[in-house]
Structure formats: structure tokens, C-alpha cells
Structure 1
């Protein structure tokens, strides 16, 4: 049989990089994409070390032309697409009084509309192959978190979109899964851009913000946080499963954290937990 074709977004580092290498090692023909191919060297090095070949392509999920070109390339080069892994995303820390609406729109463009755009474009090929859509969300798509209003709003939107799409896609043979990591030791947090110039400093929000940052730094410490290889292993299991779940958490910590929300009908438990994060 022809090896299945897998399209992955956001493969320059972290979960995307590890997933691309793991999937190629497992036998997928991987189209590994990123917005800036100048950042592809870590992926090339990892692929070389693993002894696998990847098809590296540029893709900006916020650019409709780029999305269409990528899907067109896959149809022309491979004639099929068996799975899409929506992984590209960007973190954002702040609070709405200190931000512009354009800041919020930018977060939504990358984390939500990029997922919607690529999923929409890929579905015709996925229907032909009776393939699957796997989307990396976050426990932040289940539990709203302090100073993450825009980011969590985008991930909540992803969760609602995919949960609604799942039964519809199933009628045409396409399986849909949302993957929910907790804290993962990647460059994701480092790329958020937290520094002494953050607009929260020097405002009434500074004490709560500083306490939140201290708590978050501890949660993402490599000795505590899940390694990206672990998330990639869960994703590979979903891609390989005959009957993949509609939602899966990637660690015991993520299971426990998501469980807070799923058993909290009036919201009081979630508020008690997250308020504690802002206490020095």
C-alpha cells in the first residue's frame, strides 16, 4: 500500500518538529510546514539524526493564498492527503484593558482562523482518502486562565469548532480529534515575549501578573512539564488508531486539569483554582 500522506503545520520546533520526525519514522510521508523556512535547520537536523526524509514547505496559515498553494501542491505532488495535523499557533499573555482589539484579532487569526482555513481547504482531499483531522488545542481550550483571555478565547473557539465538526465530518468518512496538552517544555512560552516592557508592569494589574508569571514559570520548568516527544507520541497514537477519540489529553496532569472544568457545572471550582495562581 502507498504510505499515507500527513500535512503538519508549525514544525520549526517543539510539538510540530517532534511529531514530524516521529510520523516519518512511523512510515508517513510528511509534508512539514512552517511560515519561515529560514527556521527549518533544527527540523532538518532532527530528521537527519532520525534517518528520515521530510518534505519541507512554506505555509502561513493566516494567508489564504498560502493555504491554497499548499493544498494544491499536495494534490499535485502526492495525489492524496490522509491526515492533517493542525499544530501551528502562538501564545499570548496579557489582559484586555491593556490591549487593543487588533491584538486580540491577531491572536484569533493564528490560533483559530488559521485552523479553520486549513481544515476547510484540506477537507476535499481528506474526504477522498477517508482521512482524519487532528488539531493541537490546549487545556487552555477547556479551562480559562488568568492573563490569557485572548489565547484561551481562541482555543475555546477551536474546541467548539472541532467538536461541532466531528459528527458532520464523520458522515463523509473523516475522523476529527482534538489533542489537549498541558504545560509542555518547548519554546512556546519563551516566544510569548514576556519582558520588563510588558504593559502590565506599572499598572494595578502588576501584583497579580507577577504572581501569575512566577507560578507559570514553575509549571513550565522542564523538570515538571511534559516533553514535546511525549505529546508527539500521543498524536502518533491518534493518527494510528482505527477509532480515534474525539478528544484526548496528553498527560495525567492535563487529564486532571481538564477534569476540573468538565465536572464543574457552576464554575466555582475553576475560579477557585485559577484565582490562587495570582496570589503572591
Structure 2
């Protein structure tokens, strides 16, 4: 019988593309999103690809919603062979001028949501000797200016998964983190920046933030597509022995490689200071 994968955050971007490509690869796909009224683009893409996906509601910030979704998969399919933690939310700001509540909100979606789903899914992944794939970010390896909250959450996810991987492997579960760089998707739009308000809020940091935003705009102008990034996620689902850490582009590999070879942190600091100068 075909394996079953549950994917979060599938209304757009990498999640949508992963759902379609996983179905093409032979998975029975349970594609989840917080608001199922936004399933139109996914269903259209699946129809165009000649595959079916099972769209269900899952809010990763709601523990009851997470448990209900996982229980529903087991009740209807009898198994769970893979999970893709993809749902996430961006945020820009800097700690002195930002609200601590924003840090908590970003952690809820990007970190604790992953914890909730991983916890609920692991008993079933153990039973199936399954796969746990989590979409993090190059921002989970390299801290980036004005992304303190977002990078903190993604660093936390990477630390959790790196720690979990050998423990899960001893029980037959493969853990992989996938690190995209800039991806042309709705992710940036969903950050919902009020540029006028945030520049006023930045105070003494406004000049540096303006430079950062200019650099970020340039990087996303040359971003890879969601389909390209999703191929790496699906490879992590289907490869015989996937690596723990994989990147979705050569740029992402080079960028994260600087950090992973940067024992004293000086190379990364030299790089990122240039983004705001």
C-alpha cells in the first residue's frame, strides 16, 4: 500500500509544491493548512498534475488541532509514514524596538508548532519506520540582521532536530532538515510589513534597516522557485539514506557552509555587517 505523508502549510509556496510532487512520487498526501478555504490553488495544481491530495485543517499553534489531524490520518488511513513540518511565518524587527510578544508569536508558529506535531506523530512514525522532514531555513544556520525572532526560532528547530535525529534513528525514524534560501513564494508577502510604520519604529536603526531591505529585495528578485525547493523536500522523503541536513540550492549550500566552517564566528559577522552598511 502506498505510504502516507502529512504536510503542513500547503496553501502556497513550498508546502503546496511539496504536496503535489509527493503525490506524483506515489505518496497518499494529507495536505494541511490553517484555513482550508484557501485550498483553491493547491487543488488546481493537483488537478493540473493529475494527482489527488486530501486537504485537512491543521493549526500548528493549537495542540488540539494537531492531535485531531494526526488521529484523523490514523483513523482513515491506518498508518503515517512521513511528516513534513513546513508551516512557518516570517518576521522582521530588532529586539530593542520590537515587542517581546512578537518573539513569542514567531516561536509559537516556527518552533512550538514543530514540537507539537513531531510529538504527536512520532509513535506512528516509529511504527512505520518513517521519515520526519522539517523545512527550516538558511536562517536556522546563519543569524541575519533584523531577523532575530525568526532566526532564533529556526535555530531552535535545527537544534531540536539535530538532537532528536540519533534518538529517532535508534527507533527506525529518519530525521532530515531542509534549508531553503530565498524562495519566490507568498512567504515574504505573508510577513505583512507596514513599511511606513516599521521605519518609524526602527528609530536609530532605520538607516541600517533601509539598507537591509534593499539587499533583501535584490536577493528575492533572484530567488529559486517553490517547485525547485520542493524537489529537495521530496528527495528527503524518497532517498534511501537522506542526509540529516540538506539545502535547496547551491547558493544555500555555500551560504550555510560559511557558518559550519566558521569556528570563531568572524566570517559570518563580516558577511552580515555588509548587509546593513
- The TM-score normalised by the length of structure 2 is 0.98
SS of residue paired to 1:272 = helix
Q: Distance in 2 between matches of 1:196 and 1:146?
A: 17
Query: CA offsets, 1:183-238, max 9 Å, x none?
Result: 111111111112333334361111000100000001001xx111111111111111
Query: CA offsets, 1:155-187, max 9 Å, x none?
Result: 000000000000000011000000001111111
1:198 aligns with 2:197: yes
Deviation at 1:9, TM superposition (A): 0.1
SS of residue paired to 2:198 = coil
Aligned to 1:69: 68
Q: Is the 1:98–1:199 contact (alpha carbons within 8 Å) kept by the matching residues of 2?
A: no
Deviation at 1:249, TM superposition (A): 0.7
SS of residue paired to 2:74 = helix
Aligned to 1:219: 219
Q: How many positions carry a matched residue from both structures?
A: 276
Q: Is the 1:94–1:200 contact (alpha carbons within 8 Å) kept by the matching residues of 2?
A: no
Moved over 4 A (4+): none
Unmatched tracts of structure 2, length 5 or more: none
What does 1:63-212 align with in structure 2 at a 5 Å threshold? Answer: 63-201=62-200, 203-212=203-212
Aligned to 1:22: 21
CA RMSD of aligned residues (A): 0.8
What does 1:50-65 align with in structure 2 at a 5 Å threshold? Answer: 50-65=49-64
Aligned to 1:244: 242
Query: CA offsets, 1:19-74, max 9 Å, x none?
Result: 00001111100000000011111101101111111100000011010011001101
SS of residue paired to 2:241 = coil
Would you tell me which structure has more helix in proportion to its own residues? 2
Aligned to 1:278: 276
Aligned to 1:37: 36
Unmatched tracts of structure 1, length 5 or more: none
- The TM-score normalised by the length of structure 1 is 0.97
Q: Distance in 2 between matches of 1:201 and 1:182?
A: 28
Q: Distance in 1 between matches of 2:197 and 2:88?
A: 21
Q: Distance in 1 between matches of 2:136 and 2:185?
A: 15
